[in-house]
Structure 1
Amino acid sequence: MVHSNSSQKIKRTSVREEAYMILRDWIVQGILTPGQQLRDKELAEQLGVSRTPIREALLRLEDEGFVETKPSRSTIVSPIRFEGVLNIYSMVWTLEKLAMEQAFDFIEERHLIEMEAINHEGKKAIDEGNQIVAVQKDNDFHSIYINLSKNDELKRILSGLKQKLIRMELFYFNQVSDVHLSVDEHAQIIQALRSGNLTLVLKVIEKNWKESYFRIQANTECVKSGEEKNE
């Protein structure tokens, strides 16, 4: 059974999609923890739906790598794995640079002011240790120019990729001591946009995502080192 303060009942007409979104959010936010067994009957009861949309949601989540089915046919939440995450980060910064190229001519001062406000809210969340809000504000910051690209297919692909990164960033949030540096990197993106230099903007976007990767990488290596010492 899932123990969450935000227990939800599905009310929308698209039961299948809603079940998928709720379960994915629970996995990304760590409400459903790595390795936890998922029982469709319990999940169906908690969400107030039949078992069919739950099973369909779990199949979709398995295709996306969020859950795994064991030989015994039990379904569990996939463990957090760092292997291969560089591929996801590199895809994200490549696609975000494409989004920026398509959005660049549509970005106005009001958008930059909005990005500054979001960045300030993200810093406040980091200072307060509010990991979910901090990661959400980071996503909101990048979404400003992604949405301005007016490329729905690009937005869809990026959204799916970022859910995997958000899950990892939330998992390691409290162990990454220099997470606040992302705020400075966002400020550099805004400054580059104000300069009107697209080449520089693309450079600092890539830098932001690379630095995020290196921060996570350094932390996972520390965790592995600590585990080896304890063995």
Structure 2
Amino acid sequence: MPIPVDHAPIRTSLLRDTVHDRLRDLIVDGTLAPGEVVRDTELATWLGVSRTPVREALLRLGESGLVRAAPGRSTVVSEIDLAEVREAHAVVVTMHRLAVAEAVARLTPAHLDTMRAANQRFAAAIAATDTDAALAADDDFHAVAVEVSGNRALATVLDQFSPVVRRLERLRFASLAGTESVALHDRLVETCAAGDADAAAEVAYRTWQNLADLIPDTQPDSQPDSQETP
């Protein structure tokens, strides 16, 4: 039969995003370990796609700092650089605080119900020590404010830097410290429901700032004042 002239073409952007998200998640959850060599041909075969979306995904992952490549050399999964994690975390904290501040006036009862339901799933996942489910529920919870804010620049920045911070989130949500986030989520919904943008933004800040406790001090130990001269 003839091809319909009005047939909508497949959106290649969806394929690129899917490949990127799959590889990003494999790096964040440790399936692709730090220092591991990743080859576009092998990844393309494994994912059942051409090399083009894989190469594009690796370029984006390089911009996020999750992989590193040099001309003529293999691409490798980046080691966890604490300085980069600290920088990315500062950006992510600021963006989520801004998202909530901009979203409060636009949140509807339906949006708040979505946040409450996500936090219930989050609490259940924390109690069951299901880190993957906790991260998914946490994403759903915070995505409401990001989407309602309508700030595309903010969303783009979070898309780039959140994966770097995600490694910290896995550590937090795998421990009892994650239970504190449940209470902070509840408080965030309460302040949003009250229409208090300033208070809600402060709670959002506290929620994300808590991850800073998981970043070890990157400063070298100070040397004694008196040292023997050679």
Give TM-score scaled by structure 1 length.
Answer: 0.78
Distance 1:177 1:52 in 2: 42
Amino acid at match of 1:196: G
Shift of residue 134 of structure 1? 0.3
Amino acid at match of 2:116: E
Distance 1:39 1:121 in 2: 36
Shift of residue 60 of structure 1? 3.0
User: 205-214 vs 115-124, which deviates more?
Assistant: 205-214
What corresponds to 2:202 in structure 1?
A: 203
Q: CA RMSD in A?
A: 2.4
Superposition pairs of residues 82-93 of structure 1, within 5 angstroms: 82-93=82-93
Shift of residue 142 of structure 1? 1.0
Structure 1: gaps spanning 5 or more residues: 1-10, 222-231
Summarize the Cα distance change of 1:59–1:193 in structure 2 as closer, same or farther, 3 Å threshold. closer
Which structure has the larger Rg?
A: 2
Amino acid at match of 1:189: L
Summarize the Cα distance change of 1:173–1:96 in structure 2 as closer, same or farther, 3 Å threshold. closer
SS at match of 1:93: helix
Distance 1:172 1:199 in 2: 26
User: 180-189 vs 110-119, which deviates more?
Assistant: 110-119
What corresponds to 2:127 in structure 1?
A: 127
Superposition pairs of residues 111-126 of structure 1, within 5 angstroms: 111-126=111-126
Distance 1:98 1:188 in 2: 17
What corresponds to 1:213 in structure 2?
A: 212
| Structure ranking higher on relative contact order (CA contacts 8 Å, 6+ apart) | 2
Shift of residue 12 of structure 1? 6.7
Structure 2: gaps spanning 5 or more residues: 1-9, 218-230
SS at match of 1:129: coil
Distance 1:24 1:71 in 2: 22
What corresponds to 1:227 in structure 2?
A: none
What corresponds to 1:162 in structure 2?
A: 162
Distance 1:66 1:168 in 2: 14
Summarize the Cα distance change of 1:121–1:24 in structure 2 as closer, same or farther, 3 Å threshold. same
What corresponds to 2:176 in structure 1?
A: 177
Amino acid at match of 1:183: V
